Structure 1
Amino acid sequence: MTLPQLTTAQSTARARTFIFEYQATVPIAPAKTRQVDLWLPVAHSDAAQDVQILQIDAPGKHKATAGQHGNQLLHLRLRQPKAPTTVLVRYQVTRREHRAPQPAKGRIPMQDPDSARWLAPDRLVPLDDQIRRWAREVVSEARAETPLEQARAVYNHVVATVKYDKTGQGWGRGDIYYACDARHGNCTDFHALFIGYCRALGIPARFSIGFPLPPERGTGEVKGYHCWAEFYTPQTGWVPIDASEAAKNPDRREYYFGAHDENRVEFTRGRDLTLEPAQQALPLNYFIYPYAEADGKPLEGVQHSFRYQDVLADEL
């Protein structure tokens, strides 16, 4: 079998520089609340993006902390709050197109301290006998033998059989059994299926979440999050994929097997997350929106808004 094609880093990667504003407003806590804790994800720099925090507007004492998988967080503690509280974080981000490396003849080290985590189940992505059986059926039908061929077979299967459709109930949680049954959902559901099948086949795969920007340069509001995935093989190292964008844009199906475009910013990686300092409720399914607790219990009604403004080259 010939190797599947990857979108590799042969040409100059496109880049985009923009201002990004993340705002959260905590409502008035229930009467007699002694303490409110608020956590915000913080965008981080890595090989695909350079992040500079320009401004943090927050009342009282706040602290930047390091979480799991290299995630960065902002924690704010309010004592006996009497009014709504708004926090604003303003960034300058340069995001570069992320392309897969050229396949190598030798072994490419994983270089990830959480390597074992990317083969383990998530709460909503179990690795049981049924999931393993379905994953094996996909690669068997495609006659995929190597990890790279198998990951491509899983990607093709997900893109071909799942529809990007946010109707009904159950979508958006990244529940692999929901995705297998309903065959529709948003990016979280697409990548739960891709990641779960890869891990079931022994292929490490990891989840990232952030925000999308429209391809057109300008300014505006970002309505919600976007998530994507990477998988690892010794032949390729970490390979970026975006199955939901491929499903929405069939003409870019080949591109998104091996690339993430520059029209996004990553905030956190992984699922089932414990924050720092640790929240008292259950681990978070994923962490992209602000999360608050009042005296250790989840506080509902935290509002959020996000805006971007592109920075022109002559303004840098």
Structure 2
Amino acid sequence: MPTSTNDGRRPSSPAISAVGLRKAYGDKTVLDGIDLCIPEGSVFALLGPNGAGKTTVVKILSTLIGADGGQAEVAGHNIATEPDGVRAAIGVTGQFSAVDGLITGEENMRLMADLNHLSKRKGKQVVAELLERFDLVEAAGKPVQSYSGGMKRRLDIAMTLVGGPRIIFLDEPTTGLDPRSRHNMWQIIRELVSDGVTVFLTTQYLEEADELADRIAVLHEGTIAAEGSADELKRTIPGGHIRLRFTDPSAYHSAATALREVQRDDEVLALQLPSGGSQRELRSVLDWLDAAGIEADELTVHTPDLDDVFFALTGNNAATPAEEAAR
């Protein structure tokens, strides 16, 4: 990991770095040597089944609990020896809203400004700016218990931003939100990153990680099973294919006889060819069909998605995080 300068930070240092993080509770090892390197101004998503240790990672990096082994730096500060520096640089939004439903949204925000030791003038300015940014001005004077789930989540993140953190931990930020509110939250996260904020995201929605994350890590049985961009992870999983469907039985049988390594479905007159989904492979199949004078009525391309990645890395019997949450 990089060595800190006098101000506790190197411009080239990652926002979050960790080497060999370990944590056990009794005889149960939760984390068994976790390595991370998360660049500034990026979105990092941590996926894994329930009990994989995602929340434990967040708690260690945000200094809520200590690690049993390994070391980590957050915002250039060692989590074990400089916890105050870490806490001053981060914001944490948990899975469950931390807002007070009995007071108004603006009062919640002002309380957070006081906790961050902002002056009255500065606090008033920051609160006003964040209420406007998160489209909460009209609701600011209403008790939070009257807010919708999406409004509460926006307020929760707005409160996290009062202190101006450069690194934010979002633990399942869209759980329980309707699709429109979820997409609104995605836009907020994109805007934060465009401002240079680093987002560490845990999520139960695989499509959310696919949509937002620059890099994704899959945590399984205490270790990082795989890490990379969504496209990189998908390319590691076999199962991509091109599917051809015919209405003319003779065309179907001609194609099935001529094509190699093809799976047949005689009932629906469909053929499945292994494929990585590249443009070159698709063009090759189309050129062959043209040259042979065979016309397929339907052609579809399937490439592995994050569901496929998740099942391949954690076992086909494992439920996705979203499925586990619905139980």
Q: TM-score, normalised by structure 2?
A: 0.23
Structure with more relative contact order (C-alpha pairs < 8 Å, separation 6 or more): 1
Q: TM-score, normalised by structure 1?
A: 0.23
The higher radius of gyration belongs to 2
Greater strand content: 1
